[in-house]
């Protein structure tokens, strides 16, 4: 009995590969090659953009919204493998944890978590079906940390005040 158990443990990784669990990277690669990021990029900046702070205060759930901000607001603003990223209000900037922060600056440490929450939002780039695009936003859109972007889409806000943006398209300021 003991040998049967050990044999099963030895072959478990091979069996897992046969069950399809090992296919996740190939699926993501296929998804990446099938999705053209240009469909999510705007060639001209849309009018009427508001900052993240203003949007947090005034946006209504499900309402169309155009916001402007800088990619960032956390030590890692990216959602790996998904077209989603943190957006920081354009009036703010982030300094390294432990660094002195002046007016309009926040650190990446826990001490500034509440302040960062008030001036950041999660942006999720969604397809026509409302699903987050399964390609990293750095690859899909060519985004880099600190890029200034204008995002067009729909506000997502719950009764607890959690706010995010479901983006249809993104304009990257150069």
pLDDT at 3 over 50: no
* In a shared domain, residues 75 and 127: yes
* In a shared domain, residues 145 and 126: yes
Total domains present in the chain: 2
* In a shared domain, residues 90 and 30: no
CA distance 97 to 95: 7
* In a shared domain, residues 3 and 79: no
Biggest CA–CA distance in the chain, Å, is 71
Average pLDDT of the residues in 37-44 = 97
Q: Are 93 and 77 in contact (CB under 8 A)?
A: no
* In a shared domain, residues 17 and 55: no
Provide the 10 A C-beta neighbour count for residue 134.
17
* In a shared domain, residues 53 and 81: yes
* In a shared domain, residues 24 and 50: no
Q: Are 101 and 107 in contact (CB under 8 A)?
A: yes
**163: confidence class by pLDDT, cuts 50, 70, 90:** very high
* In a shared domain, residues 116 and 155: yes
User: How confident is the model at residue 34, as a pLDDT?
Assistant: 81
Average pLDDT of the residues in 58-72 = 96
pLDDT at 33 over 80: no
| Rounded alpha-carbon distances, angstroms, from residue 137 to 57, 78, 82, 166 | 26, 8, 6, 13
* In a shared domain, residues 58 and 85: yes
In the three-class reduction of DSSP (H, G, I as helix; E, B as strand; rest coil), residue 66 is classed as: strand
């Amino acid at each position: 009995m003991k040998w049967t158990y050990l044999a099963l443990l030895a072959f478990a990784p091979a069996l897992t590969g046969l069950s399809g669990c090992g296919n996740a990277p190939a699926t993501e690669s296929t998804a990446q090659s099938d999705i053209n990021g240009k469909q999510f990029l705007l060639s001209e900046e849309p009018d009427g953009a508001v900052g993240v702070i203003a949007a947090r205060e005034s946006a209504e759930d499900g309402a169309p919204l155009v916001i402007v901000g800088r990619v960032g607001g956390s030590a890692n603003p990216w959602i790996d493998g998904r077209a989603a990223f943190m957006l920081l209000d354009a009036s703010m900037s982030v300094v390294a944890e432990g660094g002195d922060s002046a007016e309009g600056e926040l650190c990446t440490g826990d001490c500034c978590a509440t302040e960062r929450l008030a001036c950041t939002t999660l942006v999720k780039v969604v397809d026509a079906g409302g699903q987050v695009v399964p390609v990293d936003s750095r690859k899909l859109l060519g985004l880099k940390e600190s890029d200034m972007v204008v995002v067009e889409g729909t506000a997502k806000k719950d009764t607890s005040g959690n706010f995010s943006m479901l983006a249809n398209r993104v304009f990257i300021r150069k």
